Chains A and B, each alone.
Chain A
Amino acid sequence: MIIFDRARKKFGNVDAVKDFSLTIEDKEILGLLGPNGAGKTTLMLMMGTVYRPTGGTITVDGLDVVKQPNEVRKEIGIAFQDPRVDGILGAFDVLNWHLKMTTGLTKEQREKRVEEVLRSLDLWEARNKRTWLMSGGMRKKVEDAKVLCQRPKIAVFDEPTAFLDVPSRLLVWDMIRKLRDGGSTIIVATNMMDEAERLSDRVAIVNLGKLVAAGTPEQLKSTQKGGEVLEVAVESSHGLTADILTQFSEVHNVHVDDNKVVVYLNSGRLLLPKIVETLTEQGFKIGSVHLKEVTLEDVFLTYTGQRLE
């Protein structure tokens, strides 16, 4: 179990993480969802004993990251956002050395495991190619492979599928799930909604260094009143205020972007013509209308007031 208890981190005058409290259960996949600069990487590096928390405590299986950093490091494996591999070495050497450092496996066991993971990630043929000569996607897979080979008790993936094509993303997700099934606790930091939603058992939304919401994707979506979202594209939202639409009792919340109005409501099918009529009467030119169920993206928008690009 990992416990963040009012963890804080300041860099100079900047609060990268503010009073972050969260408990991560054993053998779950926790998606840490937030935009770039939200503090996700800082949280992971504090847990990984690279940064010292400015305040609060972080414990990993009862071990304090400040007081027992050496013991904590034995539990953790981190796949970084930007691949941290010796560019001059090949993928096989990088992974083999990583396993030497982090596991007590024999030479045969190490080589077998590295081969298994490299073959699964379709990197076996390129195993001796210097990693700095690899494409961004290949390098990213080598970075993920470090933790997939290591099979640590706590596996951390920082944006594991950045730069990857769709088949590779699905493959990496599948391998991360298998790692969880094998007994690892997984933390996946991501700014991709579908990754958080499809991969995570629970999602923690982080914004500006703070935890703003946490729960299963379904729980988070159920916090949205109404359960439906109406997206109305308008030519210009200048002068469009929420109260124009909150006059309807079925409308629970309204977000107005530059050229888009997002309405959280129920009975959407019945209300849609009334909303279109109201907006048209007010002089707003409507481009398109889209009625859908609540997604994690809508939850994120509600809690943070911004969209993840």
Chain B
Amino acid sequence: MSNLRLVPLIVERDIRILFSDTFLIGIMFANFGIDLFVTAATFGRLIPQSVLHENYFLYIAPGSNFVTAMVAAFQSGRDVWREKYIKDLASYLLTLPAPRRVLALSRIAGGVARSVIATFPGTLVISYLYGILLDPRVFAAFLIVGLFSLGIVGLSISLSAFASSIEVFVTVRSAIQLYLSFLSTLFYRTDVFPSFLVPIVVSNPMTWAVEAFRSLPHAQGLIGPISVLVIPSLVFAALGMASYLWYARL
């Protein structure tokens, strides 16, 4: 148990590094701003409410926030990759008195914390737009963002463990981001997709995350919207931990 006291310390380091890079934070917030306010405002005029039967601005808002969460989560994997191949910090971290599994757990937790922090303003804004800011459901909103981030951090750390070059990392990351963004219900409802793509869309974790978030204003309980994300996120997080343990093995 005493080793677990190291987890918040390693998470603290990850957060400190995140906040040291103000440029990166600026980019992530700009990304969110562009996605939500510019894209949604223009798309909202392209797609009238009479066609969509709902406000497109509100429809796209959670997805924009998840895109920001996704960028921040992939940053964790990129950092782990850079630690090994560019800065050679990995050998330093591996000589610290933390068991490898604690180190792996900490890196995942650090990634989630960074992602939740990066999306904090966005989650608040959207919770306000959804009318749940002063409601217990606001906690569910953060939990959904955290669970989504958990899965993506796991995925990105797995990718970093196996990517032999930054080009491989960036290319695979882009492919995953394209899949998550455009083969999900982030921008469109399922019935807009060709029928052969529907199974892919409905099995997309981004679909589950945005639908969970969109259901919050109507949710009777908090468990329902959250539960759908728990298993895939834990599976990806376990994959990330296993990959980190493989990468950091003695």
Q: Flag the segment in A46-54, A112-120, A161-169, A205-213 that touches B.
A: A46-54
Q: Which residues on the A side are within 8 Å of B99 (C-beta)? A: 70
Interface residue tally for chain B (C-beta within 8 Å): 23
Greatest chain B CB density within 10 A among A45, A52, A73 is at A73
The answer to whether residues A97 and B9 also contact, given A49-B250, A50-B250, A89-B16 and a CB cut-off of 8 A, is yes
**Please, what's the 1-or-0 string for B75-102, where 1 marks a CB less than 8 Å from any CB in chain A?**
0000000000001110110111111000
B94: chain A residues within 8 A (beta carbon) = 48-50
Encode contact with A along B93-123: 1 for CB under 8 Å, 0 otherwise.
0111111000000000000000000000000
- Tell whether B21 is near chain A: CB-to-CB under 8 Å: yes
How many A residues face the partner with a CB closer than 8 A? 27
Closest chain B residue, CB of each to CB of A66: B250
B87 and A101: CB pair below 8 A?
Answer: no
On whether A88 and B97 interact (CB within 8 A), knowing A50-B250, A80-B92, A100-B9, the answer reads: no
Is there contact, CB below 8 Å, between B20 and A76?
no
Q: How close is B81's CB to chain A, nearest CB, in angstroms?
A: 15
* List of A residues within 8 angstroms of B92 by Cβ: 78, 80, 84
Cα-based distance from A48 to B6 in the complex (angstroms): 19
Verify B95–A49 contact, CB threshold 8 A.
yes
Contact with A102, one of B88, B89, B96 (Cβ below 8 angstroms): B96
B88, A82: Cβ atoms closer than 8 Å: yes
In angstroms, Cα B92 to Cα A73, docked, is 11
A10, CB-defined interface residue at 8 Å: no
Q: Name the residue on B nearest A143 (C-beta).
A: B92
Closest to A77 in B: B95
A93 sits at the interface (CB 8 A): yes
Judged by a CB distance under 8 angstroms, whether B189 is at the interface is no
Query: Is B17 an interface residue, CB under 8 A from the partner?
Result: yes
Residues in B with CB closer than 8 Å to A78 are: 92, 95
Known: A66-B250, A100-B9. A48 touches B95 (CB 8 A): yes
Q: Are B96 and A93 in contact, with the CB atoms below 8 A?
A: no
Chain B, 121-174, CB within 8 A of any chain A CB:
none
| Closest CB in chain A relative to B94 CB, distance in Å | 5
* Interface set, chain A 58-104, CB cutoff 8 A to B: 66, 69-70, 73-74, 76, 78, 80, 82, 84-89, 93, 97, 100-102
Which residues A102-146 have CB closer than 8 A to chain B?
A: 102, 130
* A101 & B6 in contact (Cβ 8 Å cutoff): yes
Q: Which residues of B contact A82 (CB under 8 A)?
A: 88
| B9, A88: Cβ atoms closer than 8 Å | no
Q: Choose from A87, A93, A102 the contact partner of B16 (Cβ within 8 Å).
A: A93
User: Does A45 lie within 8 Å of B97, measured CB to CB?
Assistant: no
> Among the interface residues A76, A80, A101, which one has the most CB atoms of the partner chain B within 10 A?
A101
Specify the chain B residue showing the minimal Cβ separation from A69. B250
Chain A contacts with B in 155-207, Cβ cutoff 8 A: none
In the complex, the chain A residue whose C-beta lies closest to that of B18 is A88
| Chain A residues positioned under 8 Å from B98 (CB to CB) | 73, 101
Inside 8 A of B96's CB, which chain A residues have their CB?
73, 101-102
Smallest CB-CB separation from A97: which chain B residue?
B13
Cα of A45 to Cα of B95 in the assembled complex, Å: 8
The residue that A87 contacts in the complex, of B10, B12, B13, B87, with Cβ under 8 A, is B87
A89 contacts B20, C-beta separation under 8 Å: yes
Distance (whole angstroms) from the CB of A158 to the closest CB of chain B: 11
Residues of B within 8 A of A85 (CB): 89
Chain B residues near A101 (CB-CB < 8 A): 6, 9-10, 96-98
B14, chain A: closest CB distance, angstroms: 10
Q: In the complex, A78 Cα to B9 Cα: how many Å?
A: 19
Chain A residue, CB-CB nearest to B79: A86
Judge whether B95 and A88 touch: CB under 8 Å.
Answer: no
How far is B98's CA from A266's CA once the two chains are assembled, in angstroms?
56
Instruction: Enumerate chain A residues within 8 angstroms of B91, measured Cβ to Cβ.
Output: 45, 48, 50, 80, 84
CA separation between A173 and B16, bound complex, in Å?
32
Q: Which residue of B lies closest to A100 (CB)?
A: B9
In the bound complex, how far is the Cα of B49 from the Cα of A157, in angstroms? 68
In the complex, which residues of chain B have a beta carbon less than 8 angstroms from the beta carbon of A100?
A: 9
Give Cα A70 to B94, complex, Å: 10
Residue of B nearest to A45 (CB): B91
- Whether A86 pairs with B13 at a CB distance below 8 angstroms is yes
Given contacts A50-B95, A87-B87, A97-B16, 19 further A-B contacts (CB under 8 A): A49-B250, A50-B91, A50-B94, A70-B3, A70-B97, A73-B96, A78-B95, A80-B91, A84-B89, A84-B91, A86-B17, A86-B89, A88-B17, A89-B20, A93-B16, A100-B9, A101-B6, A101-B98, A102-B97
Some 12 contacts from A to B, beta carbons below 8 A apart, are A48-B91, A49-B94, A49-B250, A50-B95, A74-B97, A80-B92, A84-B88, A84-B92, A86-B13, A86-B17, A88-B20, A100-B9
Query: Closest 4 CB pairs between A and B?
Result: A84-B92, A88-B20, A73-B97, A48-B95
